[in-house]
Structure 1
Amino acid sequence: MTKESDLIKKAPDGTYGFRASLGFDKRTGKRRQKRCSGFKTKTLAKEAYRKLVAQFEDEQFNSPITFKEFCDKYFFPWYKFTVQEQTYEHRKGMVERSFNQFDSMKLSKITAFDVQKWQLGYLEDHANGTTRVAHTMLGKIFERAILMSLMKENPAKIVGNVKRSQDEVEFWTKDQFQKVIEQTSKDTYTHRFDFIILWFLFMTGMRSGEAKALTWKDVDLKAGTIDINKSLLYKSVNNYKLGKTKNRQSMRVISIDQQTIDYLEEWYEDQRLMTRSKFVLSQDGAPLNSTYINDIVHDYGNLAKVPTVTAHALRHSHASLLISLGENPLVIRDRLGHKDVRTTLEIYGHLYPKSDIEASKRLEGLVTVPSE
């Protein structure tokens, strides 16, 4: 941060002046600056600088702009260019649903008390993990407002986020998935489609958007590999887009087991008899809509009388299966396309068995001590 004394400059004629940065213009969004000069002494220049900044803060931090107006005019237009399109659409919808109580409030008047009240109310109707995501997003909005000199402090940061709960990750165990698969059937084309979706997502751990964007060109059945290189942003059957994956690490090639290869070969032949589709998970040539996978996960879960989970839980289920098989976290990171292994351990670390006793046994006798 620039010191106040460094802002005061001496002119060739012996007088003093300064250039003050006054945040952003509320109407244009451009940075505001003001130059003042001609002060006989440095002290007078400092006093003028302080008075100008104080006057600006009084005006700026009492801005009548509301939370909703700030989000619509300033935050969303900026945020749209910082994340992938599917992330933007998801987060924008979440903000519009989650923060209604702030919409008409003046942005500068929102306090830590208001955020605390929201957080407690939100927790009553939402899971711990969902609340964490919403709170993080609220904090991001306030941080942008601070940068634009519309708020002095971040009330979401003052309150603090809710702690991560170890039981946040929902998934089906291998035995539970076995019960689900036993409820599937291959007697009709639709039933075979439902089976391949459930099996494929459980056995690959792909994100829903990645799986829906997968084309047959991305699948090498001879080599037993899948090239994950895009994601699907779906709005309607005639309005969808194939975009980038969540991050650079999400672009990956994974191997699949022989059983999954066999089932994909069967599905390829079944699909060709009904339609010519470039998409692997397609029943009629069009990509899957946003709710189909969630619906079949819910329906078959109910038939199997196992815990109700979401489509994303099949990704967690795959990770928990690998952990139960003793797989290394680095392998799981690469297979799931996590940004780093810390992400993997933060989400799934509590699922790893406690191995302190086994470690101590391996240490025993490892170093030989010479006899006396």
Structure 2
Amino acid sequence: MATIQKRPLKHGYSYRVVWREPDGTLQQRTYRNDEEKAKDLKRFLDANNNSMNIAQQAKLRSLSTAPTVRELVEHHIENLGGEVEPGTVQTYRGMLRIYFTGTGIGETPIDVLTTSQVRTWFDELDRSPKTKKNVHALLSAAIRTELRQDKPRIKANVAEGVRSPKSVKKTRDPVFLEKHEIQALIDAMPDEVYRRMVDLKVYTGMRFGEITALRPSHITERRGRMIISVREAWKRHAGKEVGQPLGAPKTNKGTRNITLSKSAAERFKPWLDSIEEDNLIFTVPSTGTQITSSYFSRIIWAPAVDPLVEAERGKRPVLHARPTPHDLRHTHASMLIEAGNEFMLIQERLGHESITTTIGTYGHLRNDADARAADSLE
């Protein structure tokens, strides 16, 4: 807590405000014949953890008439227009509620916000690097929208240049399953529809939203081979009033053809032949409705995986690590690499927009390529 030391002068009094900053340094400021200013500074310091910087920001906030960061982000979201999918807008509203409503940065007027504040806020966000990046991108986009106005109330985008260090480790490494683990996982599924879906997913690398949107009309047979045409995917959920719509795959290259191996096609064809008309190939058995990722993860996947990663006394667990449904896609890529396929082919099969994504995710698996490169120097 700050203190005021009153001392007599030849003409009047001096009022020295003394406080200790959060880092332990002792600070002081003296006012001649102005007790009210000294009391005002003491009040601000007491209310702001004895930090002059925080106190100054609080005073600026109290004098500002500009909208807050929360209001800026909210205005940006509400004026995105029809080019942004409803599910994405819903996600942005969730970010607004969690990261900007009732928070220090959210209630800061935009004309007071500084790069230093944004950096501190960003560094202290206890979220995965991807989430932090997305929240920061929303803030930066909202500021850019303000700067495009005829009379912007700010002069620069203070969120620009604030990034996570490149060395930040991923919060979770992919799990690559061995073939015997894949079969154990398929066998653990509680119903044939889920066994067929897991089998097809691991041998095609399809995204969850793609495989659960499959219909018989998406599959053709050419020259004795079965080919899946990926043209649709369930989009991000947008709330009860909008639902989860079908749309194009995640990326432009997500629209692709995937050829099944002969053995995978033999396992899948009897199930495909049992689907009536052009209904969804994979649905919840009890309701015949779409299989959502949240339902599958909680109700089907987790109860099936739990026993496989829990070791019985004196025995090894069946799975060497706990996989997620998305790890079936990672496993598909790892099998392609192990078989010697080139990254360009793997990129096309997975539907990655950029080869950089493919190499960045799976490049470390190509130990054989590194060995061949070393041998070429002999």
TM range (shorter): 0.5 to 0.7
Deviation per residue, 1:106-165 (Å, 9 max, x gap): 233332333333333323xx3333333333343333333333334333333233234265
Q: How many residues align?
A: 294
How do residues 132-143 of structure 1 correspond to structure 2 at under 5 angstroms?
A: 132-143=133-144
Q: 1:298 to 1:237 in 2, by over 3 A?
A: farther
Distance 1:223 1:150 in 2: 62
Q: Who is 2:166 aligned against?
A: 163
Provide the secondary structure at the position in 1 that maps to 2:244: strand
What letter corresponds to residue 184 of structure 2 in structure 1?
E
Displacement, 1:332? 1.3
* Residues in 1 aligned to 2:249 and 2:83: alpha-carbon distance in whole angstroms: 14
State the AA in 2 paired with 1:203. Answer: Y
**What residue in structure 1 maps to residue 288 of structure 2?**
285
Change (3 A) 1:354 1:81: farther
1:251, CA displacement in angstroms? Answer: 0.9
Instruction: String of CA shifts for 1:19-72, please: whole Å, max 9, x gaps.
Output: xxxxxxxxxxxxxxxxxxxxxxxxxxxxxxxxxxxxxxxxxxx66212232222
Pick the aligned partner of 1:340 from 346, 354, 360.
354
Identify the residue that residue 202 of structure 1 maps to in structure 2: 202
Moved more, 204-213 or 355-364: 355-364
Query: In the aligned structure 2, how far is the partner of 1:74 from the partner of 1:280?
Result: 39
Task: Say if 2:247 is the partner of 1:243.
Answer: yes
One-letter code of the match for 1:344? Answer: T
Q: 1:167 to 1:320 in 2, by over 3 A?
A: farther
1:112/1:352 Cα in 2 relative to 1: closer, same or farther (>3 Å)?
farther
Equivalent positions of 1:64-79 (< 5 A) are 64-78=66-80
2:330 counterpart SS class: helix
TM-aligned CA distance change 1:87 to 1:253, over 3 Å = farther
2:232·2:246 contact (CA, 8 Å) conserved in 1?
yes
1:303 aligns with 2:304: no
CA distance in structure 2 between the aligned counterparts of 1:169 and 1:318, rounded to whole angstroms: 18
Amino acid at match of 1:301: V
Specify the alignment match of 2:215 in structure 1: 215
Q: Which residue of 2 aligns with 1:29?
A: none
TM-score (norm 2): 0.66
Superposition deviation, residue 271 in structure 1 = 5.2
Structure 2: distance between partners of 1:160 and 1:259:
47
SS of the aligned residue for 2:245 comes to: strand
> Who is 1:19 aligned against?
none
Q: Is the contact made by 1:210 and 1:232 (CA closer than 8 Å) also made in structure 2?
A: yes
**Structure 1 pair 252–118 and aligned structure 2 pair: CA distance change class (3 A):** same
Residue of structure 2 equivalent to 1:108: 111
Match of 2:342 in 1: 328
State the Cα deviation string for residues 67-99 of structure 1 (Å, max 9, x = none): 232222234422x54444544444543454344
- One-letter amino acid of the structure 2 residue matched with residue 197 of structure 1: M
Structure-2 residue corresponding to 1:178 = 180
Distance (Å, rounded) in 1 between the aligned partners of 2:326 and 2:99: 21
Task: Please say if 1:262 is aligned against 2:276.
Answer: no
Pair 1:226-2:240 in alignment:
no
CA contact (8 A) 1:129 1:164 kept: no
Distance apart, 1:357 and its partner CA? 4.4
Contact 1:236 1:289 in 2 (8 A): no
The 2-side partners of 1:94 and 1:205 are apart by 30
Question: How far is 1:308 from its partner?
Answer: 3.4
TM-score (norm 1): 0.67
Q: Distance in 2 between matches of 1:319 and 1:76?
A: 39
- CA-atom RMSD in angstroms: 3.2
Question: Distance between the aligned counterparts of 1:261 and 1:110, measured in 2?
Answer: 58
Displacement after TM superposition at 1:238 (Å)? 9.2
SS of structure 1 residue aligned to 2:111: helix
- The alpha-carbon deviation at position 266 of structure 1 amounts to 3.0
Residue 192 of structure 2 aligns to a residue whose secondary structure is helix
The separation in 2 between residues aligned to 1:118 and 1:314, in whole angstroms, is 36
What residue ranges of structure 1 are gaps of 5+ in the alignment? 1-61, 365-372
Which amino acid in the other structure matches residue 181 of structure 1?
Q
Pair 1:154–1:352, CA change in 2 (3 A): farther
1:229 Cα deviation after fit: 0.8
SS in 1 for 2:159: helix
Matched residues in 2 for 1:237 and 1:271: separation?
30
Q: For 2:230, give the aligned amino acid.
A: I
Pick the aligned partner of 1:319 from 333, 336, 343. 333
**Identical-pair percentage:** 21
